[in-house]
Amino acid sequence: MENTIVKSQHSLKYENGRILVNGVINLDSFENDVIIARLSDKTMTIKGEKLNVEDLNIKTGVMIISGIMNSLVYHQKYEKLSFIKRLFK
């Protein structure tokens, strides 16, 4: 039996200070200046100011964020950072 990895697509829409992300399977970290969300095949890091997760529905994969987005970075491999690494990052 073959093991297959299903890669679901995701989308991101930025409008009027709100970010709508589809395809989220987990929210790994959420702070005022950084949000780390896991997608099916990669990790997404959003950095900014006054970031707030207004809505998160893991079943539908929808996350709505408000605030000022300064950067968006995709990481191909998921790397879970320990609390100490996140503290000194």
- 23: Cα separation from own chain's centroid: 9
pTM of the model: 0.74
pLDDT at residue 36 greater than cutoff 90: yes
Average pLDDT over residues 32-60: 93
Integer Cα distance of 59 and 55 in angstroms: 12
Average pLDDT over residues 69-76: 90
> What angle (nearest 5°) sits at the alpha carbon of residue 5, between those of residues 3 and 44?
150
pLDDT at residue 67 greater than cutoff 50: yes
Return the pLDDT at 38. Answer: 92
Average pLDDT over residues 62-88: 77
Residue 36 lies in a domain: yes
Number of domains present in the structure of the chain = 1
Residue 88 lies in a domain: no
Residue 2 lies in a domain: no
- Its domain, for residue 29, covers 17-58
Residue 37 lies in a domain: yes
pLDDT at residue 75 greater than cutoff 90: no
